[in-house]
């Protein structure tokens, strides 16, 4: 948009040539009077017949305005007006007609091609004022046409860039998937051969055993990273099946699976039914709940809460934990691929999970957000369309009671 404004501004700042005004009148005195009144700021062309006027109007320099007197020697002025309006080269040139009141009454059918009418006699100041008015209007019309053309060019350019970006994203996803998929086979072979040597560690030197452990650990980590990249690529292109989904059931399953064997206490408020892809909702919950468990495990009183709020036809799902949190100055990095805010040795992971969450939520028309208070709670939230907007009323009593403690 700034380019369009700059373009139009430059057009306005560019020195314009003096406007050309064609004065058509039988009387040479009338032409001379118009030339005297307008000549200081305009190029005034004179024509003393209708035929000459039609010829001059179609030549270069093309007039910006025609002042047409009703009294002509060779043809009716209305015939000249019709000829100018019927020629594509002069159709848009405004015509100011000068004549008697009786003539004005007969001009109703030319209202679409007549810019103005001045009842004779025409004074110099009136003529200058009307000419200036209609030339200003003509310039405004030209500026609007230039702006429209600039907007059309910008729209075409934007459409082209969008198509190129879509193609580039598709290519990038295809490359990522292909590379990751092709790496899996050699990685599996490497990991298998390395693992097969583990029973023979006793025959290796201390340095050999250390190197073997490093190979096994690195190959497993790389295999996990490749699997995560495949998940990230799949999040952008996996088919969706939008249907009513009960988030309470998903939360129960995820907590039962990921919370087993931990000391984490879970608190889950009543959760709504939403319109979403069930598989994607499950993966979103697994990533957020898994992170909450991981980053709060260092606390003896580790807690994870799942809450729900409504805003219109959207549900806002919040997963909170009282873990170590993060510096809000790095919040923008959280949802980027391979971005980590904590050392791998302390908190294992590939830095892909939150990027996957953002992709899955965005594909379903929602948004993601994160918030953290030092020494307090950390929250990750996402929005998703409600299946039944009246859910908040039905569950108000349950939510007021504090939800379900697990």
Could you tell me which residues are beta bridge partners of residue 383? 316
Is the model's pLDDT at 232 over the cut of 80? no
Residue 88: predicted pLDDT: 86
Please, which pLDDT band fits residue 231 given cuts at 50, 70 and 90? Answer: low
Where residue 403 falls (left for φ over 0; alpha for ψ -120 to 50; beta otherwise) is left
Do 372 and 228 share a structural domain? no
> What's the pTM value of the predicted model, to 2 decimals?
0.49
How many domains does the chain divide into? 3
Q: What is the mean pLDDT of residues 154-182?
A: 66
Contact 349, 305 (CB under 8 A): no
Could you tell me which residues are beta bridge partners of residue 369? 381
- What is the helix (H) or strand (E) element at residue 139, kind and residue range? helix 124-196
Do 188 and 87 share a structural domain? no
Do 184 and 143 share a structural domain? no
Residue 218: predicted pLDDT: 74
Distances (CA, A) of 360 to 115, 134, 185, 285, 403: 59, 58, 27, 11, 27
CA distance 281 to 279: 5
Instruction: Flag whether 377 is in a domain.
Output: yes
Residue 108: predicted pLDDT: 57
Residue 285: predicted pLDDT: 92
Residue 315 phi, psi (nearest 5): -105, 135
What is the bridge-based pairing of β-strands 95-99 and 116-119? parallel
* Nearest CA among 301, 287, 289, 282 for reference residue 364: 282
Do 144 and 16 share a structural domain? yes
Final residue of a domain: which of 218, 236, 254? Answer: 236
Mean pLDDT of the chain: 78
Is the model's pLDDT at 344 over the cut of 80? no
- The side-by-side arrangement of strands in the sheet containing 43-47 is 43-47, 20-24, 65-69, 95-99, 116-119
Give the chain's radius of gyration (CA, Å). Answer: 39
Do 381 and 259 share a structural domain? yes
Distances (CA, A) of 388 to 270, 274, 310: 14, 7, 11
Q: What is the 8-class DSSP label of residue 386?
A: B
Instruction: Flag whether 157 is in a domain.
Output: no
Q: If 0-12 CB within 10 Å is exposed, 13-18 middle and 19+ buried, where does residue 191 land?
A: middle
Instruction: Flag whether 330 is in a domain.
Output: yes
Instruction: Flag whether 398 is in a domain.
Output: yes
Do 231 and 246 share a structural domain? no
* Nearest CA among 70, 45, 61 for reference residue 122: 70
Percent of all residues in the chain with a pLDDT value above 90, rounded to a whole number: 16
Do 114 and 248 share a structural domain? no
Do 276 and 200 share a structural domain? no
Could you tell me which residues are beta bridge partners of residue 242? 277
- The side-by-side arrangement of strands in the sheet containing 265-268 is 368-372, 378-385, 314-321, 303-311, 265-268, 404-405
Instruction: Flag whether 161 is in a domain.
Output: no
Do 269 and 373 share a structural domain? yes
CA distance 239 to 283: 14
DSSP calls for 12-49: HHSPPPPPEEEEE-S-HHHHHHHHHHHTTTSEEEEESS
| CA 233, 236, 237, 241 torsion-angle sign | positive
Residue 52: predicted pLDDT: 92
Do 100 and 15 share a structural domain? yes
CA distance 178 to 109: 71
Final residue of a domain: which of 193, 212, 236? Answer: 236
Do 129 and 110 share a structural domain? yes
Print the domain residue range for 173.
169-236
- Of 29-33, 309-313, 386-390, 399-403, the one with minimum mean pLDDT is 399-403
Contact 326, 372 (CB under 8 A): yes
Could you tell me which residues are beta bridge partners of residue 386? 274
Residue 49: predicted pLDDT: 92
Do 123 and 224 share a structural domain? no
What is the bridge-based pairing of β-strands 273-277 and 265-268? unpaired
């Amino acid at each position: 948009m700034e380019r369009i404004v700059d373009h139009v501004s430059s057009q306005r700042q560019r020195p314009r040539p003096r406007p050309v005004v064609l004065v058509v009148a039988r009387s040479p005195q009338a032409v001379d009077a118009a030339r005297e009144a307008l000549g200081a700021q305009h190029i005034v062309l004179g024509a003393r017949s209708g035929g000459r006027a039609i010829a001059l109007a179609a030549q270069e320099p093309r007039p910006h305005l025609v002042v047409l007197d009703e009294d002509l020697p060779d043809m009716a002025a209305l015939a000249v007006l019709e000829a100018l309006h019927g020629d594509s080269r002069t159709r848009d040139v405004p015509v100011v007609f000068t004549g008697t009141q009786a003539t004005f009454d007969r001009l109703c059918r030319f209202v679409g091609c007549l810019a103005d009418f001045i009842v004779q006699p025409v004074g110099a100041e009136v003529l200058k004022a009307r000419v200036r008015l209609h030339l200003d209007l003509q310039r405004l019309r030209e500026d609007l046409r230039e702006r429209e053309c600039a907007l059309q060019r910008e729209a075409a350019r934007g459409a082209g860039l969008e198509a190129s970006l879509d193609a580039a994203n598709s290519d990038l996803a295809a490359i990522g998937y292909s590379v990751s998929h092709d790496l899996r086979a050699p990685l599996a072979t490497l990991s298998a051969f390395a693992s097969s040597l583990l029973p023979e560690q006793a025959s290796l030197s201390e340095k050999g055993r250390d190197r073997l452990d490093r190979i096994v650990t690195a190959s497993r980590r790389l295999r996990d990273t490749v699997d995560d990249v495949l998940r990230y690529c799949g999040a952008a292109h996996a088919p969706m099946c939008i249907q009513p989904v009960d988030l309470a059931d998903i939360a129960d399953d995820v907590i039962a699976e990921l919370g087993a064997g931990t000391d984490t206490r879970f608190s889950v408020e009543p959760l709504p039914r939403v319109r979403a892809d069930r598989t994607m909702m499950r993966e979103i919950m697994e990533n957020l709940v898994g992170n909450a468990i991981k980053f709060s495990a260092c606390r003896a009183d580790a807690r994870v809460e799942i809450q729900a709020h409504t805003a219109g036809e959207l549900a806002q799902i919040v997963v909170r934990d009282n873990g170590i949190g993060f510096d809000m100055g790095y919040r923008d990095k959280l949802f980027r691929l391979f971005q980590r805010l904590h050392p791998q040795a302390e908190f294992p992971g590939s830095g892909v999970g939150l990027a996957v969450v953002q992709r899955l939520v965005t594909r379903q028309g929602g948004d993601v957000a994160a918030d953290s208070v030092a020494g307090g709670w950390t929250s990750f939230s996402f929005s998703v369309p409600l299946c039944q907007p009246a859910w908040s009323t039905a569950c108000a009593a349950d939510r007021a009671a504090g939800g379900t403690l697990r």
